[in-house]
Structure 1
Amino acid sequence: MKKSLLFFLFLGAINSFAGINSDEKLYYNGTVLTLDKNGAIEESIYIKDGKIVEVGKSNNLLKKFDNKSIQKIDLQGKTISPGFIDIHSHFMNALRISDWANVSAPPVGKAKSIDNILEILKNHKLKQNIKDGEWIIGYGYDENYLDKNLTKFDLDKEFPNNPILILHVSNHGGVLNSLGLNSFNINKDTPTPNGGVISRVPGTNEPEGLLMETAFLEVFAKLPQPSNQELLEKFDIAQQTYAREGYTTIQEGATHANELKLLKEASNNNKLYIDIVSLPLITEVPTLVSEYLVNPNDKKINIENINEQFGGYNKNLKIGGIKLIVDGSPQGKTASFKEELKTPGPNGEKHWKGESLLDQESLNKVYKKLVDNNIKVWTHANGDNGIDMVIEAVKSTGGKKGDGRRDIVIHSQIMHPYQLDEYVNLGLSPSFFTNHVYFWGDVHIKNLGEKLASGISPMNSANKKGLITTNHTDFSITPLNPFMTMWTATNRITKEGKLLGESERVSNLDALKAITVNAAWQLGEEDSKGTLEPGKMGDFVILSENPLEVPKEKLLDLQVIETIKNGKTVYKIK
């Protein structure tokens, strides 16, 4: 009798739950930051079939839906913000990073010396059960915070039987040991390519281990990879890496052809539940055209028809444009600068200004081809000379404000006021990287001088000129934490505690818009994302506190409680 009673109680519970429509939800008793044009702040939000239907006061909506069988979630005073939009990172790294050793400097990692790095690698080899002959890969190497530069000799001494690659924190290079260099036939007879760096043993032509930019690209592209099946099995873990930080749209910001194929396979197999925007590298276009981009009739297409593949999502995946790379990284001294650095180059070069990865004529030609085919261009440019090159390339196409292209200059770091004016006139939009102020601000002062370093990622100046600006993490270069990007944009404090570029600090509101409203605009998705308004997607995040009321110094204390994508919870704090 007791078992029968329990059974019927269980059935009753199921039937009671089944009577609630899980596709309809009312979140109430909170603070809802709509971020609409009027800056409206409400208390409650009603979602149906993955879309926002209504926002308003809690009493009004509770009364309206009093007799309706929908889920009602009491926010208990917590804050809802539009879902965060990652406007530039490297999603593919999230698939692989669990198999790599973290040799980052604090606070991201624990490496304060070469000995620390070697110990981390030893522990990683044991933990991952990496056998002799197999690759060991680390990430986050930053010579700026070590006692000396890492070389192949350091790695050879401890790992004579494993090829090793330690990725530079910029993701634009790495240090290999002798076995690693030999596997790619890099030796004293290997010429340094244009736009690249091969560090040499002083007084000789023997490679010392460090490869940067064009010297590194082919090495990274040809590294042994996990199987597609192994990578597909990590898509949930990778998406959770973003979801737990509140992201509902993310970017794969430099996609190789084989990676796009994997993303499409994941999409076709319904493994994506967060929107992913892929930016194929320009160098991959011939392969993309010949192998992966097909028209609706499954016929191969050429560059003149490539724009047919852009702009729309297919099962949470879209190709958002083409990625160009003009220069390297300022912290790695491979960005392209107008003036000589105050310190030697990455290989001890004197009178060093960095280098561009291609010449102006080539950049103009490539840019024009993309513009002629109505393809959105996302250009990586860090140094002031690299930024000048982008400006000249856009001018050569006849680009101007109001042409509707919304081309993005990723990073836009070392800038001058006249360059912001050119952005305005040409219709360019910058995606800044204010995390640099904290992680490498002190390094930039040393390399560039305080005046030039203070203008890094000039978000406030750009906002005042009417530019629509965003902010990004460039994960895995810096952590995905969205509150870190807000904190660096509003405080601009370096690792050593120095205030760098006080006039470029922005408000909490502008910092939040840079990862929501403005990011949606740069993606061309402002009609469906970025604000919490009726008709838009039910993409939002529940936060521990209101980021507009928290003192800017305390932004790092904020927590993501829950992330909702298309009205469904994709992450919830435990």
Structure 2
Amino acid sequence: MLDLKLTHARIRTVDDDRPTAHTLGVLAGRVVGLDEDIADLPARTTLDCRGATVVPGFADAHNHMAWYGQSLDELDLSAAATLDALYDAVAARAAALPADAWVIGAGYDDTVMGGHPHRTALDRAGGGRPVWLKHRSGHMCAVSSAVLDRTGVLNGTAREPEGGVVVREADGTPTGLLQERAQNLVTSLTLPVSLDNLAGAIGKAATAYTAEGLTHVTEAGIGLGLIGRSPVEAAAYQLARERGTLPVRVELMVAGDNLHPLAAHADDHTTTGLDLGLRTGFGDDRLRIGPVKLWLDGSLIGRTAAVTEPLCGHDHGGVYQDSPDDMRALMVAAHRAGWRIAAHAIGDEAIDLALDTFAEAQARTPRPDVRHRIEHSGVVRPDQLERYAALGVVPVPQAHFLHAVGDTMAEALGPERIGWLYRHRSFLAHGLRVPGSSDRPVAPGAPLLGMQSMVQRLSRDGLLLGADERVTAEQALRAYTLDAAWTSHEEDRRGSLAPGKHADFVLLAEDPTAVDAGRIGAIDVLATFVAGACVHGADTLTDHTSVTGPPPAPARARSAA
């Protein structure tokens, strides 16, 4: 007796041995067969898909779940087209708050508005309250004088963190813009966030994710560090899971700031890590520890990416988050201790640092098929492609950046380097696998939008960015399913609809590999299933479903039987 049987479906399995099917069987949260394998088996529940397309559950290999969830309760500045519109929004929010409350907003884009908010204008708009506005990139923020006063920046007592920039006028007066690790001056006033708050934010994010067909996400940096919310942040995900508000599978990247010296036995090669030796792979299929996340440089949109040739209009090569020697030493120690490493490197100079360090780490302590990653891989020179392939390093670019902020990126790089921007096809040509990811909330995170950008590579203004890097819709679907699973060493458990794998799948109104590329992002997600259970869209499937048997026994009881 199957727990669930899908019938009359257009199934794209993303499995080369059996790419399509019409019927799928689920037992104990796993796919047990397709078509003739399960045709004669009864099922407790049968879902008539009525021709809907079924694909493996989507995965986002790089997102910020807690950050996104919290932003849903903050002043949304993503639609502000001018600075005046932003100031008006701040004033309206301030008027509804107590006199001593902070005005916190997120998602503003200086390239759209023509500049960053200035602290004196924020003073007026906020009525003297502390105002903290987070840039969409996460690599900078704008604050009012009240905030700068509390940090000690205005009276000169604050020490600017290494790897951070307090932007100033020509006379040395702060403008209110804080870049990279200078943002720590603000977060030191507002963190940590309570576990209850974080778990609530994670639950809100999860609801949005399942509505977009996501069944697995990788959280790119928890705990201490650039975007961490609490030194005990992993516990918030556990709390959300215990509350039943975490329906998606989650892999947690631990920010490198959390690693510290350990006095383990010399034979264990663990001089640096987490207490108890916890590292990549600890956990289960629902919640586990993934790579250690290390930020090397800044951002392209913020013009702080570390590049070998300065960005257009700038006379510097970018900003490193820490001393390159210190970052290199931490990466080598983490590799030796058994971690997978996710190195944030956007500029080609930072990518050189990451590749050189991975080569050094492997030379000292060989670890075949470790699958270290370079997050973003934003500006990749032609000569670096071969090094990625030789070292087996996984590139993790965000294709939808091309639409969301591609015009300003193209302006920063100039025509000679546009073809290096967030590559995809070149990586595939070198035998690499490219997972789908969004960096949400930096850019919209719907996987179908990301797939459309992989195929089209069009900016918001219609500029074609790197025509030779376009891929097919089939390759884009694989990026968000099987290749994302492979990146996490989980290709044997998820990413395709094959017997034995998790029954994580999505019902779509149309086949993303068969429609016009410009319509991929608009396809309706009808329902999302994790481990054979509907986590989104159950109401719309009511008249598609027939129940012919009692509900399945708990998995533990079935196992004991």
Q: Compute the TM-score of the two structures, normalised by the length of structure 1.
A: 0.86
> Which of 148, 166, 175 is the equivalent residue of 1:198?
166
Q: Distance in 2 between matches of 1:427 and 1:498?
A: 32
- Residues 75-474 of structure 1 aligned to structure 2 (within 5 Å): 75-104=49-78, 110-125=79-94, 129-187=96-154, 189=156, 190=158, 192-201=160-169, 203-220=170-187, 222-224=189-191, 227-256=194-223, 257-268=231-242, 271-286=245-260, 303=273, 307-314=277-284, 316-344=286-314, 351-398=315-362, 403-474=368-439
Higher mean alpha-carbon deviation, 486-495 vs 142-151, is at 142-151
Shift of 1:315: 7.4
SS state at 2:426 partner: helix
**Which deviates further from its counterpart, 189-198 or 412-421?**
189-198
- What's the counterpart of residue 528 of structure 1? 493
Q: Distance in 1 between matches of 2:320 and 2:439?
A: 20
| Contact persistence 2:164–2:180 (CA under 8 A) | yes
- Give the Cα–Cα distance (whole angstroms) in 2 for the partners of residues 224 and 124 of structure 1: 22
Pairing 1:550–2:499 present = no
**Partner Cα distance (2:115, 2:246) in 1:** 42
CA–CA separation in structure 1 for the residues paired with 2:137 and 2:497: 35
* Structure 1 pair 451–39 and aligned structure 2 pair: CA distance change class (3 A): farther
Shift of 1:484: 1.2
State the shift of 1:461 in Å: 0.5
The answer to whether the 8 Å contact 1:94/1:241 transfers is no
Is 1:46 the counterpart of 2:22? The answer is no
> How far apart, CA to CA, are the structure 2 residues paired with 1:239 and 1:488?
23
TM-score, normalised via structure 2 length: 0.88
CA distance in 1, matches of 2:43, 2:399: 46
State the alpha-carbon separation in 1 of the partners of residues 480 and 313 from structure 2. Answer: 34
Residues in 1 aligned to 2:182 and 2:21: alpha-carbon distance in whole angstroms: 53
Structure 2 CA distance, aligned partners of 1:151 and 1:365? 38
C-alpha deviation, 1:324, in angstroms: 0.4
| AA matched with 2:86 | I
Unaligned runs of 5+ in 2: 224-230, 264-270, 541-561
Cα distance in structure 2, aligned partners of 1:232 and 1:336: 35
One-letter amino acid of the counterpart of residue 119, structure 1: D
- Offset at residue 95 of structure 1 (A): 2.9
C-alpha deviation, 1:455, in angstroms: 1.9
Query: CA RMSD for the aligned pairs?
Result: 2.3
Which AA in structure 2 matches 1:322? Answer: V
The Cα shift of 1:403 comes to: 1.1
How far, CA to CA, are the matches of 2:335 and 2:405 in structure 1? 34
Q: How many residues align?
A: 523
**Deviating more after overlay: 215-224 vs 429-438:** 215-224
Percent identity over paired residues: 25
Give 1:234 deviation, angstroms.
4.4
Task: Give the residue type in structure 2 aligned to 1:164.
Answer: V
Partner of 2:134: helix, strand, or coil? strand
8 Å Cα contact 2:373/2:393 also seen in 1: yes
2:462 is equivalent to residue 497 of structure 1: yes
Structure 1 partner of 2:443: 478
Cα distance, 1:510 vs structure 2: 0.8
Q: Secondary structure at the match of 2:316?
A: coil
Specify whether residues 315 and 420 from structure 1 end up closer, same or farther in structure 2 by C-alpha distance, changes over 3 A only. Answer: closer
Instruction: Tell me by how many angstroms 1:39 deviates.
Output: 5.5
Which deviates the most, 217-226 or 366-375?
217-226
What CA distance in whole angstroms lies between the structure 2 residues aligned with 1:373 and 1:363?
15
Find the aligned partners of 1:527 and 1:341 in 2 and give their Cα distance: 42
User: How far did 1:69 drift?
Assistant: 4.7
Distance 2:17 2:397 in 1: 25
For residues 341 and 309 of structure 1, the distance between their equivalents in structure 2, rounded to whole angstroms, comes to 37
- 1:147-186 Cα shifts (integer Å, max 9, x gaps): 3331101111111332111101111110000111122222
* CA–CA distance in structure 2, aligned partners of residues 571 and 143 of structure 1: 36
Contact between 1:306 and 1:373, CA under 8 Å: does it hold in 2? no
Deviations 1:9-62 (A, max 9, x none): xxxxxxxxxxxx8x71111111111101236111111111111011126xx745
Question: Is residue 268–residue 315 contact of structure 1 (8 Å, CA) maintained in 2?
Answer: no
Q: Note closer, same or farther for the CA distance 1:302–1:496 as it changes in structure 2 (3 Å cut).
A: closer
Bigger-Rg structure (1/2): 1
Query: Which one-letter code corresponds to 2:61 in the other structure?
Result: I
